[in-house]
Chains A and B, each alone.
Chain A
């Protein structure tokens, strides 16, 4: 029950902030719109054969302009899901700075209950936001997210767990919100860049493997191309492992002694 209470408080804190919700729902759609405009203006052909001069390009399967739009839609979604991790980190550090976390620790609550409550609240909030983004992108931009919304939401759960754990790690590492948020923002943008999320391209084929983004948006793209959860099990497994490792680190860093200052 305390877990639910913490989760509800967490959900209220974020969802009652109308400007914040508006930003994290509208901005990804706007970013997807910009990318699709750019791809359309570049006149990228759809899949099939494109002949010119003495050569013909053969694009295989679900490729071409549609695949680029899918790629950027997925990478934008992941980028914004990761930004919600910043909110998670800011909330925890905000509690430290306001000394309300010390009060929470003075209650007969176990550390795992506090973490579970926060995680649950953040999960519900982010799933709500993700759902809004998916629906808006589908309605306004016609982006096809695949056959199963449930599968997409399952992948989202994996991504959110991973990024929330990362948010907790950062909130444990820093006592100053400005620093924690700054370093986390840098990490997210650097990972998006290294995964090729802003530009795509061959330069990022190696570096992308070391980013959360690649495993997440590959999973989304797989689903958008008609695969099912079993087909993307490797991506989900990688996200689960990262999530568990970060979760353990978060539990270690989320110590009571860190808040008595």
Chain B
């Protein structure tokens, strides 16, 4: 009961200023929608192809069918300069002679780029398939394999990764009230009241959880029904994972507020923790790319388990298949919460 009173009080304090409504309810939604809108927008790649009306006609049609390219004809000798001048993103020059029967005499197609990135690799794969078809007669891959839908899981995954980052950040900001209490000495007053420590921490946790649920619901409804985002899995499942992660992120916020007493440090730590843990947890790239010690560290990062749950769901897993991930997320929340209860104690500085 005491926790509920504290919860209501904390929520009232959060919304004391009218600008807080915008900050706590609108910004998280904007953040999530922004992430989804940008990452789900297929990037059209400017490609220059030499000899567009001759040998490369087939390649032009093949690349056009993917819908991913804006193709222009270029002079093969100028391909390097055009890429360097950034007039085209990727230059493609096919070999002049494609009649060679002997494998050793077959010339390679040149794919020219400034950067080594996913767009280049994707283009290289397509050109390779085309050249394979030209030299060996191997059929071209099915068009559908290269439509936008193939990258849907990647983009949805990245968008959800960014959403997790913003969730951690906003949970931490909500916990800033505990620091305010310390500064205003009300923390000591609460500690003098006939309250158990866990009741006080639970009150803050419930307030932030309630706020988080509202944030997630607003975001989720706007993304699903206004932006009509295709999550690649049933929408309630996305909501469930996000809610489980919310418990973790709120617990983490309490843990941080317990060990950091300085406002400046807390504000910086909150941002650092959200971005670093998201990197280690595979929000921006697959956590499998973290080798050795970093890979082992990522096992202790909540985002890793949330992202893994998303990835499994996108691959067709059911809730039962990801229950281990959900339990681990809840466990993280419980551990951080217990840590918060233990460290959120008044000290001589709070007098």
Contact yes or no, A23 B263, CB < 8 A: no
A19-76 contacts to B (CB < 8 Å) = 19-20, 23-24, 27, 30-31, 34-35, 37-38, 41-42, 44-45, 51-61, 63-65, 67-68
Residues in A neighbouring B348, C-beta threshold 8 A: none
The segment from A111-119, A201-209, A251-259 found at the interface with B is A201-209
Q: Does A79 contact B (CB under 8 A)?
A: yes
A20 to B77 Cα, complex, angstroms: 55
Question: With A20-B264, A55-B124, A179-B17 in contact, is A34–B173 under 8 Å at CB?
Answer: no
Residues in B neighbouring A57, C-beta threshold 8 A: 111-113, 116, 120, 124
Q: How would you classify the secondary structure of chain B's contact residues: helix, strand, loop or mixed?
A: helix
Question: With A58-B113, A189-B166, A193-B162 in contact, is A183–B27 under 8 Å at CB?
Answer: yes
B54 to chain A, nearest CB (A): 18
Q: Does B31 contact A (CB under 8 A)?
A: yes
A23 to chain B, nearest CB (A): 6
The segment from A87-95, A131-139, A150-158, A212-220 found at the interface with B is A87-95
Contact yes or no, B285 A38, CB < 8 A: yes
A193 to B158 Cα, complex, angstroms: 11
Chain B 263-298 interface mask (CB, 8 Å, partner A; 1/0): 111011111101110111000110001111010000
Residues in A neighbouring B268, C-beta threshold 8 A: 20, 23-24, 83, 86-87
Q: Does A233 contact B (CB under 8 A)?
A: no
- Give the size of the chain B interface in residues (CB under 8 angstroms): 73
Contact of A181 among B41, B115, B267, B290 (CB under 8 A): B267
A163 to chain B, nearest CB (A): 13
B237 to chain A, nearest CB (A): 25
Contact of A203 among B38, B131, B173 (CB under 8 A): B38
Question: With A38-B289, A90-B263, A202-B43 in contact, is A53–B131 under 8 Å at CB?
Answer: yes
The segment from B102-110, B215-223, B309-317 found at the interface with A is B102-110
Chain B 5-35 interface mask (CB, 8 Å, partner A; 1/0): 0000000000001011001000100010011
Q: Does B349 contact A (CB under 8 A)?
A: no
Closest A residue to B38 by CB, please name it.
Answer: A203
B16 to chain A, nearest CB (A): 8
Q: How would you classify the secondary structure of chain A's contact residues: helix, strand, loop or mixed?
A: helix
Q: Does A194 contact B (CB under 8 A)?
A: yes
- Give the one of A59, A177, A185 with max B CB within 10 A: A185
A188 to B275 Cα, complex, angstroms: 11
B38-71 contacts to A (CB < 8 Å) = 38-39, 41, 43, 45
A-B contact count (CB 8 A): 198
**Chain A interface: which size bin?**
35 or more
State the B residues within 8 Å of A (CB).
Answer: 17, 19-20, 23, 27, 31, 34-35, 38-39, 41, 43, 45, 80, 83-84, 89, 106, 108-120, 124, 127-128, 131-132, 134-135, 158, 162, 165-166, 169-170, 173, 176-177, 180, 183, 260, 262-265, 267-272, 274-276, 278-280, 284-285, 289-292, 294
8 more A-B residue pairs beyond the given contacts A38-B285, A189-B275, with a C-beta to C-beta distance below 8 A: A37-B289, A42-B289, A68-B117, A94-B264, A176-B17, A182-B23, A182-B169, A189-B166
Q: List 18 A-B contacts (CB under 8 A).
A: A27-B272, A41-B289, A45-B116, A54-B132, A55-B128, A58-B113, A61-B114, A68-B116, A83-B271, A86-B268, A176-B17, A182-B176, A186-B169, A189-B275, A193-B34, A199-B284, A202-B89, A205-B43
5 tightest A-B CB contacts, nearest first: A54-B131, A202-B43, A182-B173, A181-B267, A178-B176
